[in-house]
Chain A
């Protein structure tokens, strides 16, 4: 039996995933309607997810008119290009775009290094802490005195990075023994500024909820 192709946008996602949240914020900023589909990740993955992302079996997956797009940054670039009439999140100038893509990709490090903070102990954890301070310093330096990474307007780098802030505070801060407000004060202020936007405020969960989730994961993976 031929399956009818579902028109429009469907986002396969998981409530607390910062990678999924990037896509949700972008869709909201662009005013694009979509169907949100919460996926079971800690149990059995759905057939739709496995069919849409057979290589990685991960969320987020954006399905547009039945065709899947995988990887959050690939999805963000796709939204820019497939919906040219929607408000752009990337600047028009190629050099500025290259800078935005660089820092959006770099922001992945916050999650990668932060995860090592709660998954490891001893030497490995100290190393992760040192790296995290460097990453936050680099981000704080790149932001500088600007309100947002590209200047006056909220854009690509902001939405790529902001979903990691509730993971940083309080969780990564506590596991790593540092304070974002101390080591990256401009970044801390920027995070508050981003939360004033509806798309961000409505998408992100409070740090306490993320902390609960990390505790759940630790139990599940038997990490002390």
Chain B
């Protein structure tokens, strides 16, 4: 029987990818040891556990490493499925709904993810940043439609409870606050994407999310400067 006592997460506090794994572990009520990695000086454990990508997050369970955040989330959902003591599921049980969740999760990391790197890390001037912001907003408009489809009137993409698409998109919310500060308006605009704006507030207010999705914009800006200088 898989125990919760030997779980370790290698992460970075601002990483959308590490954040989603930690939220899922919280949702499942699984205790874990968290180790903060320094991207400028990666630990031997990280490099040894993820030799192919050398990236966070890594989940180490019983001494074995699982890599790639969406794969980690599915692994956690399979090892600790819904049931015991009200533990929730992260993916739906119906195969077609699972396919929809995986499709939208892939879309988020593809379209929102690439715009995110463009808005914050890769842009060389304000023009490039604006172009990336436009791409993010376009992706978010598509996700507004996806939210309507997936949630079916319920609070989250996953329905009554947080699911795969929620944690995948939710991982970016800390950085969205930074973008909001830089561009002087909310990226998830309540006028253009009202459903997502409501979702953003609900997601942040969830117990499993508090303390994991960052909200200290000044601290994140310092982190951003260091990263760009690396």
Contact = CB atoms under 8 A, between A and B. Distances in A.
B68 A102 contact: yes
Contact of B103 (A74, A82, A102): A74
Interface string A48-83: 000000010000000010010111001101100110
Q: Is the interface of A mostly helix, strand, loop or mixed?
A: helix
Contacts of B71: 98, 101-102, 105
Given A98-B66, A101-B74, A102-B67, A77 B102 contact: yes
A6 to B, nearest CB: 16
B74 A64 contact: no
A94 interface: yes
The dominant DSSP class at the B interface is helix
Interface in A20-37: none
A97 interface: yes
Size category of the B interface is 20 to 34
Interface string A83-94: 000000000001
Nearest to A67: B96
A78 B99 contact: yes
Contacts of A215: none
B68 A105 contact: yes
Given A71-B106, A74-B106, A102-B67, A95 B75 contact: yes
A70 B52 contact: no
A122 to B, nearest CB: 21
Given A105-B68, A106-B52, A70 B103 contact: yes
A106 B55 CA distance: 14
Contacts of B74: 97-98, 101
Interface in B70-86: 71-72, 74-75, 78-79
Contacts of B78: 94, 97
A130 to B, nearest CB: 15
B150 to A, nearest CB: 14
Nearest to A62: B99
Nearest to B102: A74
B152 to A, nearest CB: 16
B32 interface: no
A156 to B, nearest CB: 12
Interface of B: 52, 61, 64, 66-68, 71-72, 74-75, 78-79, 95-96, 98-99, 102-103, 106-107, 142
